[in-house]
A and B are shown apart, each in its own frame.
Chain A
Amino acid sequence: MRTSAANSHKARRSLLWRLHIDVPLLLGLLALMAFSLLVVYSAGGESLALVERQVVRFGAGLVAMFMLAQVSPRTLKEWAPLFFVVGIGFLLAVLFFGESSKGAQRWINIGVRFQPSEIMKLAVPIMVASYFADKALPPSFKHLLISLVLVFTPMILIMLQPDLGTSLLIAASGLFVIFFAGLRWRYILGAGLIGVIMAPIMWYFVMHDYQKGRVLTFLNPESDPLGSGYHIIQSQIAIGSGGIYGKGWLNGTQSQLEFLPERHTDFIFAVLGEEFGLVGIILLLALYLFVIWRGLYISLQGQDTFSRLLGAALTLTFFVYLFVNIGMVSGLLPVVGLPLPLISYGGTSIVTLMASFGILMSIQTHRRLHSA
């Protein structure tokens, strides 16, 4: 009895393994998507058309995930340099021939219109992990320097577009690889110190006025209640008035009355907080934590250095996305244009995120095939 049950379980598992699907991770992602559709329906003014388009995006994301899961980590590692160089090429192309929208030059049109910075979200960690794959770890100073060049070149190119938020996130994903490779603690502390020193320089020479405005508003939202502080105040009212159990689905007064701008995109967390309350937020955080735990678990089991570094870095990057978004909507961080991963309506980021989960699934399911 016991054995046959175990066997059938194994048989089912092996079928999904042959398809390179990690079931726990998939279930976690699907739960998040289902949650997203509920909130998008409410935040979008009960528009079914909006939900339909979101379903289409999720479909595309699942396809991207499934396709990347088929690519073995070994192949990914071999192609990393080419992928990276092409990505850099696109970034340069954007600077020279890119299409502008809302004051930033972020898009390129080769038949389809896309943001090359999206590619770099994957290309940078893959490249850095691939670089460290055969090196002795923890990295020597020389290897560290070279890896930093790999991280900062695309970061600077994206910063020039300008897209500070994305460039910092991409840098973070590369730096996480270095962190997991065993970067010495004294370097980490040193970098923190440099960061503190650099902050004023960034403020005066790098940051744009609108970015400074966001930081100032963040520090004192009441100073501009109808301008840039409006978002923060309104989203905090929305979340706060939700209470423990929320006002109920479709019943958020703040969000439904259109107090909240961008309520179905970047500020969707406020709608969720208002309508589902603390209970809903705990559920969301639990789902996120489950996905992150599974990602780190898969990375720990990774059969080579490349898989482990890449898997862990991608997982941690996912966390940064949700942390920055929730922190921003809750008034803990300045406002940056960043969607809540897998929940916000729209954005090409869904496909990129799902692709990174595809890589995690590949790491998980290609493991045994090689060691056996």
Chain B
Amino acid sequence: MLKKREATKDVGRETSIFYIRCVIALIIVVGLMGFLLAREIKLQVLEHDKYQTQSENNRIQVRPIAPVRGLIYDQTGKLLAQNRSIFALEVVPEQVDNMADTVMRLKQIFSISDEQIEKFLEQIKFRPKFNSYAIKTNLTEQEVATFSINQHFFPGVSVEARLERYYPYGATLVHVLGRMGAITEDDLIRMDERDVANNREIGTTRQRYAATGKMGKLGLERYYEDILHGDVGSEKVETDARGRVVRVLERKEPVTGKDLHLYLNLALQQKITQSMQEKGVRGAVVAVDPATGGVLAMVSQPAYDPNMFTGGISSKEYQKLLTPERPLYNRAVQGTYPPASTIKPHLAFLGLKEGVITPSTRIRDPGWFSLPNNNHRYRDWKAWGHGKTVDVTQAIVESCDTFFYDLSVRLGINQIYEGMRQFGFGQKTGIDIVEEKVGIMPSREWKKSTRKEPWYNGDTVNIGIGQGFWTVTPLQLANATAVLANDGIRYNLQLVKEFAEANRFEANTPVMAYHQIDTSDGSWLDLVKNSMKEVTEPPRGTARTAFEGAEYTVAGKTGTAQVKSIAQDEEYDATKIAEKFHDNALFIGYAPFKRPKIALAVMMENAGGGGSNAAPLAREIMDFYLLEVLQINQQSEDGGEESNSGDTN
């Protein structure tokens, strides 16, 4: 019986059962949906008032607490970036009955400009009414006191204290520290993208910034944003209908960001800034400690006060910064300039190392150079030449162009490109600033891909005196100087020496990558360095005047970069050319010669000759750092040097 039933399939009965079951299912579905709807009607219509009240009461709130931003110190422990308590007048629109009236009355107590009021009203128009918005920041003690007396006349308005970044040395350090700015929509999107990239739940990074209105926008503040910022805390609080905290139910403390300790020496930074301002020049100076790659000073002039940005800069104030002098522009890391003669020592070393020239190679110098089968004359800066024949030492000391025209053609662009990259040209120095530019170390490929033209020999000739397509940042130039001072070791430049957590002595040192240039035959480097020493000495050195009577021995090289190319038959005459086309003055150097403590690059825009303008500034800087900061005494340094050189001989 059972078996028989199993074998037959009654399609008609099956269909009718299925049809009935579907109808039943639909009835159940509709019924249950009705049940859900009834529930929602109960919540939203019948009990709406109760929940409305509860919602308004917002009994329990979770409030994020901003962490305290890490501080920044110089090498001697001086505080360069700190947090200052500021007071702001804040309004919760939802709790204000008559906004126009409230604003009017606030205006009677405080000096609030119409612009500020307009900005505030604009801001609250499309934002949630339950948040708090600042109508005036940076209240004085007086204003805070005045408000606290009148507080009860202003429901929904309160004075809130928060910490804000403050830079006690203002413009002096802006191009190092950078500045803070309001977190923008773009920043938030970037945070989400980072979460995706790091395989984290979207919003994880945003959450860290739940209570933070500002973030680092430039310089160290931006580069070390993650380290400086710290972690957000939270507070679960019970509030009354006015939004006032009744009691704190739970509190998770925020974690303070880590402090940064720099290699930078504040006194040196200030001295350089002051000297540049006295001379009234635009430009950049970078000083590094050759032994570590630590940046001792990094000045770009002109500059501006980053504190202007902290409270939000007005467009009028911002317009004022957009002058032709471009104070916002960080010349030390973003400025790219022809290196001019400052790279002659490096080229000379390359020529010796590659065997293209020897210490005794001498070339004829009529005051110009020309390529075979071409009568274009590449002129020396000294129209009548440096004498009948010139060797490599004299070429460096007197900055003989003809010698280096000849050398560069002998080396060829391929060898120059490879050799100069070893010194860090055409690459980032690795400094902890995001905005760093790389400049241009030209090569055949570079010219083909950017200019769609082949490389000509004439291009190589210009490279020989650091002109043509070659551009460098002052930072790269200082770095390349340190490589010479350091017998071929190239460090990644670093501003930050270590990060330290507040109240703890452990410190994390950033990784110091370095490269060693092949200096297997040390005598080539010694020859170059000794020639650089002669640059600052009588009788022929181009920087001899600047370093006259120095209490330590200096190796250096001057440079004067053409900004405007001069036609074949024209003479350069500064008086006839607009100031912005005047030559850039450069100087690189390190001291003391035997045990270098400082290597620097000076770059002065449109200041004229390197020997007469950049070298004296370098002298002031070195005097200050070696004699006043380090208090090196001539006896120990140069005395030691003499006995050492006796040994090497």
In the docked arrangement, what's the CA distance between A23 and B360, Å? Answer: 90
B99 on the A face (CB < 8 A): no
Instruction: List B contacts of A241 (CB < 8 A).
Output: 48, 51-52, 54-56
Which one of A29-37, A81-89, A196-204, A278-286 is at the B interface? A278-286
How many residues of A are in contact with the other chain, CB < 8 A?
62
State the main secondary structure of chain B at its contact with A. helix
Tell which of B10-18, B111-119, B557-565 binds the partner.
B10-18
A332 touches B39 (CB 8 A): yes
Residues from chain B with a CB closer than 8 A to the CB of A240 are 43-44, 47-48, 50-52, 54-55
Is the CB–CB distance between B44 and A244 below 8 Å?
yes
Does B246 have its Cβ within 8 Å of any Cβ on chain A? no
Q: Which of A47, A242, A259, A296 contacts B61 (CB 8 A)?
A: A259
At the interface, yes or no: A300 with Cβ under 8 Å from chain B? yes
How many Å lie between the Cα of A226 and that of B8 in the bound state? 61
Check if B313 is an interface residue, CB within 8 A of chain A: no
Q: Are B22 and A296 in contact (CB under 8 A)?
A: yes
Q: Mark A231-275, 1 if CB is under 8 A from B, else 0.
A: 000001111111110000011011011110000000000000100
User: How distant is the Cα of A285 from the Cα of B249 in the complex, in angstroms?
Assistant: 38
**Cβ contact within 8 Å between B36 and A330:** yes
Interface membership of A342, Cβ < 8 A: no
Instruction: Let me know if A180 and B18 touch, CB within 8 A.
Output: yes
Q: Which of A306-332 contact B (CB under 8 A)?
A: 308-309, 312, 316, 319, 323, 326-327, 330-332
Given A254-B55, A257-B58, A312-B22, check contact A45 B203 (CB 8 Å): yes
Asked whether A7 is an interface residue with its Cβ less than 8 Å from the other chain, the reply is no
Say whether B183 faces chain A, with CB atoms less than 8 Å apart: no
Quick check: which of B26-34, B160-168, B451-459 contacts chain A, the rest being far away? B26-34
In the complex, chain B residues whose CB is within 8 Å of the CB of A47:
188, 192, 202-203, 206
Contacts of B26 in A (CB 8 A): 292-293, 296
Known: A137-B9, A296-B25. A243 touches B61 (CB 8 A): no
B201 smallest CB distance to A (angstroms): 9
- In this assembly, does A182 line the interface, its C-beta being within 8 Å of a C-beta of chain B? yes
Is B19 among interface residues, defined by CB-CB distance under 8 A? yes
Minimal beta-carbon separation of B241 from chain A (angstroms): 13
B32: A residues at CB distance < 8 A: 319, 323
CB-CB under 8 A for A179 and B21, given A136-B8, A239-B51? yes
- B647 at interface by CB-CB < 8 Å: no
Docked complex Cα distance between A296 and B23 (Å): 9
Q: Which of B6, B60, B192 contacts A226 (CB 8 A)?
A: B60
A contact residues around B56 at 8 Å (CB): 241
Set of chain A residues within 8 Å of B128, measured between Cβ atoms: 250-251, 253, 256
> What's the Cα separation between A293 and B130 when bound, in Å?
42
Asked whether any CB of chain B lies closer than 8 Å to the CB of A105, the reply is no
> Taking the complex as formed, is B2 at the interface, i.e. its CB lies under 8 A from any CB of chain A?
yes
Across the interface, which residues of B come within 8 angstroms of A300, CB to CB?
18-19, 22
Residues of A within 8 A of B30 (CB): 289
Once bound together, how far apart are the Cα atoms of A242 and B9, in whole Å? 54
What is the CB-to-nearest-CB distance from A268 to chain B, in angstroms, rounded to a whole number?
15
| Given contacts A49-B192, A50-B203, A300-B19, A237 and B44 within 8 Å (CB-CB) | no
Nearest A residue (CB) for B10: A136
Contact B43 A45 (CB under 8 A): no
Contacts of A44 in B (CB 8 A): 202-203
Q: Which of A48, A256, A312, A316 contacts B189 (CB 8 A)?
A: A48
- Determine whether B518 belongs to the interface, using a CB cutoff of 8 Å to chain A: no
Asked if A130 CB lies within 8 Å of chain B CBs, one says: no
Residues of A close to B192: CB separation below 8 A: 47, 49-50
Rounded to whole angstroms, the CA-CA distance of A37 and B151 in the bound complex is: 43
A13 to B55 Cα, complex, angstroms: 50
The answer to whether the Cβ of B566 comes within 8 Å of any Cβ in the partner chain is no
Residue-by-residue, is A129-147 near B (CB-CB < 8 Å gives 1, otherwise 0)?
Answer: 0000011111010010000
Judged by a CB distance under 8 angstroms, whether A305 is at the interface is yes
**Cα–Cα distance between A300 and B48 once the two chains are bound (Å):** 41
Residue A364, interface by CB 8 Å: no
B25, B48, B188 — which one has the most chain A CB atoms within 10 A of its CB? Answer: B25
Contact A273 to B44, CB < 8 A, known contacts A135-B6, A253-B128, A296-B25:
yes
Chain B residues with Cβ under 8 A from A251's Cβ?
Answer: 128
By the criterion CB–CB under 8 Å, are B40 and A273 in contact?
yes
Q: Which residue of A lies closest to B4 (CB)?
A: A136
B196 on the interface (CB 8 Å rule)?
Answer: yes
Cβ–Cβ contact B55 & A239, under 8 A: no
Chain B residue with Cβ nearest A53: B202
A309 to B, closest residue via Cβ: B18
B37 at the binding interface (Cβ < 8 Å) = yes
Q: Mark B166-209, 1 if CB is under 8 A from A, else 0.
A: 00000000000000000000001100110010000011001000
Residue A365, interface by CB 8 Å = no
A256 — which chain B residues lie within 8 A by C-beta?
128, 130
Q: A136-B9, A244-B44, A273-B43 are in contact. List 12 more A-B contacts (CB 8 A).
A: A53-B202, A136-B7, A179-B21, A226-B60, A236-B51, A241-B56, A281-B44, A285-B33, A292-B29, A309-B18, A312-B21, A319-B29
Show 8 A/B contacts (Cβ-Cβ < 8 Å), sorted by A.
A47-B192, A136-B6, A137-B13, A240-B43, A240-B48, A278-B40, A293-B26, A309-B18
